[in-house]
């Protein structure tokens, strides 16, 4: 039993900021590693008073050295009970004054926004004139958080979305690609069809299925040709246009 508790603790620690140990424990190892690395690369653009839109558990807060970090969530019973957000909004208007923030970060949220133009208009409104936004946006991922899953964006689509809504794209790049992306999709499949109901049994099933897939995917990535057109997520860094 103590061994299982140790595995569960390590599994939780590897959730959003995986080390190499995550290859053995985290069914979302490739996706989370790609997102973590994207966030780290964008740190120089994030400073001052920061707004995290759709902050969830604030998994990347420790990566930023900023004066204030404000988490914003859509107002639901679940987000209220989670206790991590500092402010809530109605799905349309952010509860902040114009030009309130030096930077805005938003991770894996845009696919849940039914009206992206109105959403980006609010992001732009609360951002200072010289401020920047850092977004991660999925491209290859299963349908999730149903029924609030509305869109997937290619690298071209997400760039167009920002440029047509008052932003200048500073950086656009893809995260995990090729056979690693295929491995992640396979792991996501097994997570969804997990036949067990108890937390402990679900955990054991996840570890037993994801570890060999992760290891084979990492090995195959060093052998097979790369395919940069098949990838998991987009990173967008953009500045507010006058």
Per-residue pLDDT tens for 190-204?
A: 999 999 999 999 999
Calculate mean pLDDT across residues 108-112: 97
Encoded tokens for 225:
């040709």
Calculate mean pLDDT across residues 142-146: 95
Is a pLDDT exceeding 70 seen at residue 231?
A: yes
- Pairing status of strand 49-53 against strand 101-107: parallel
- Pairing status of strand 68-74 against strand 87-89: parallel
Number of domains in the chain: 1
What are the φ and ψ backbone dihedral angles of 226, each rounded to 5 degrees?
-80, 145
CATH classification of the domain holding 221: 3.40.50.150
Per-residue pLDDT tens digits for 73-90: 999 998 998 889 999 999
Structural domain containing residue 126: 2-240
């Amino acid at each position: 039993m103590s061994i299982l508790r140790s595995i569960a603790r390590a599994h939780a620690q590897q959730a959003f900021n995986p080390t190499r140990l995550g290859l053995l424990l985290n069914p979302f190892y490739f996706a989370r590693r790609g997102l973590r690395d994207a966030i780290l690369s964008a740190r120089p653009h994030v400073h001052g008073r920061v707004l995290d839109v759709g902050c969830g558990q604030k998994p990347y807060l420790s990566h930023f050295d900023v004066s204030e970090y404000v988490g914003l969530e859509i107002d639901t019973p679940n987000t209220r009970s989670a206790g991590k957000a500092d402010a809530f909004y109605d799905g349309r208007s952010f509860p902040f004054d114009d030009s309130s923030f030096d930077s805005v970060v938003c991770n894996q949220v845009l696919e849940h926004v039914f009206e992206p133009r109105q959403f980006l208009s609010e992001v732009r409104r609360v951002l200072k004139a010289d401020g920047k936004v850092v977004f991660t946006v999925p491209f290859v991922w299963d349908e999730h958080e149903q029924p609030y899953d509305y869109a997937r964006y290619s690298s071209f689509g997400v760039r167009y979305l920002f440029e047509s809504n008052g932003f200048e794209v500073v950086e656009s790049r893809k995260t995990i690609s090729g056979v690693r992306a295929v491995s992640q999709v396979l792991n996501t499949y097994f997570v969804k069809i997990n036949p067990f109901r108890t937390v402990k049994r679900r955990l054991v099933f996840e570890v037993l299925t994801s570890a060999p897939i992760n290891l084979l995917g990492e090995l195959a990535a060093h052998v097979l040709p790369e395919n940069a057109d098949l990838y998991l997520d987009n990173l967008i860094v953009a500045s507010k246009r006058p």
